[in-house]
Amino acid sequence: MNRTGEYKYRLKYEHLDRMQKHRKVLYERPQLKRLFLELTLKCNEYCFHCGSRCGDVKSEELSLEQYKTFLDKVKRDFDISNIQLCITGGEPLLRKDFFEIMGYANSLGYDWGMTSNATLIDERMAEKLAEAGMGTISVSIDGLRETHDRLRGLKGAYDMGMQGIQALIDNGRFNHVQITTIVNHENINELPELFEIFEKMDIGSWRIGTLEPIGRALDHPKLMLTLSDYRNLFEYIRDKRRQGYPVEYGCTHYVGVDYEREIRNWYFLCGAGTYVASVMVNGDIGACLDVERRPETVQGNILTDDFTDVWHNRFKIFRQDISDIDPKCKGCENADYCAGGAFHSLDLDNMKQRVCLRGI
């Protein structure tokens, strides 16, 4: 290894050591930065990888007044200039009082963004979103036309989604319009063609995530990525970033010192319960919405518990290293930096990590 390479690795390890210390501090003094609101589980698509198993479902939903009361409380108890509201579902735009909720959040001064499939977005809808103060949006496009429609269970989803993205871009009032693609063992080969399409669009970034063993995806084990798939994907992303394109890997999983900081903007840190909290559709309080919902991961409910107290004094299951629990992590040279990986992919029945990229 030449001197440049030695310096790069030394610098990475210095950063990783600092990140490890910072993670330990967060366990004691968490910092709420992203607050997810799951407005509905209703969705006009039926994605095979959906962690929440959304679709044509019925579920309890908080009322407009309950959201207003909650948003008022968070503003009183926290510095909302440091918090982004992350609006999700289901498809959030299926909520009939969506603009009443988000208009109220905007009037209080919240910064907010949304995850959407964009099938309901046209020029008029984009303008309404801008008027309601939406700053950022991430739209899911999971393959070329046929693949995307098949994976999302809705014929025409690709065309409607792409038209929605273009309407958002044409509006010109949003800080960031992002496309997110979830890669599996089959659609990974479509990335070059997708890049050619997205490069011609004025998007802010292309975020590439990977199929995670959660929700409906657990029913499709053959579509999980192999280590070879991961390696090819990381090489692809690193190459694009070196060329100056705004392509990035999702926040999930420690990817090894070779790829850390090179395929996304900073180093891995699972923010569940330390940076991230969520309010589920029925008012339950949790960490990342991708985490399996069960008694030990649901920390309370905003209708019966004080959210501020819950944030400061509960979430203990999330404020520890998984590597201290999972016996497979014992003695691993990556344990200090990986901390056992992302909480959402933890098998909670056996307290073992389902995704490990050691040796990538």
Query: Once rounded to an integer, what is the mean pLDDT over residues 28-36?
Result: 98
DSSP assignment of 203-220 equals: -SEEEEEE--SSGGGGG-
302-317 tens-digit pLDDT: 999 999 999 999 999 9
Mean pLDDT rounded to a whole number for the chain: 95
56-72 tens-digit pLDDT: 567 789 999 999 999 99
Query: Once rounded to an integer, what is the mean pLDDT over residues 21-43?
Result: 97
DSSP assignment of 221-240 equals: GGGSPPHHHHHHHHHHHHHH
Integer CA distances (angstroms), 149 to 49, 189, 215, in order? 13, 16, 19
Helix (H, G, I), strand (E, B) or coil at 248: strand
pLDDT value for 54: 63
Peptide bond preceding 286 in cis form (omega within 30 of 0): no
Integer CA distances (angstroms), 182 to 2, 22, 103, 185, 186, in order? 36, 29, 30, 10, 11
pLDDT value for 4: 67
pLDDT at 285 over 80: yes
Q: What is the pTM of this model?
A: 0.95
- CA 262 to CA 255: how far, in whole Å? 10
Give 243's pLDDT tier (boundaries 50, 70, 90): very high
Cα 97 → chain centroid = 24
Helix residue ranges per DSSP H, 94-144:
98-108, 123-131
Give 48's pLDDT tier (boundaries 50, 70, 90): confident
348-357 tens-digit pLDDT: 999 999 999 9
pLDDT value for 155: 97
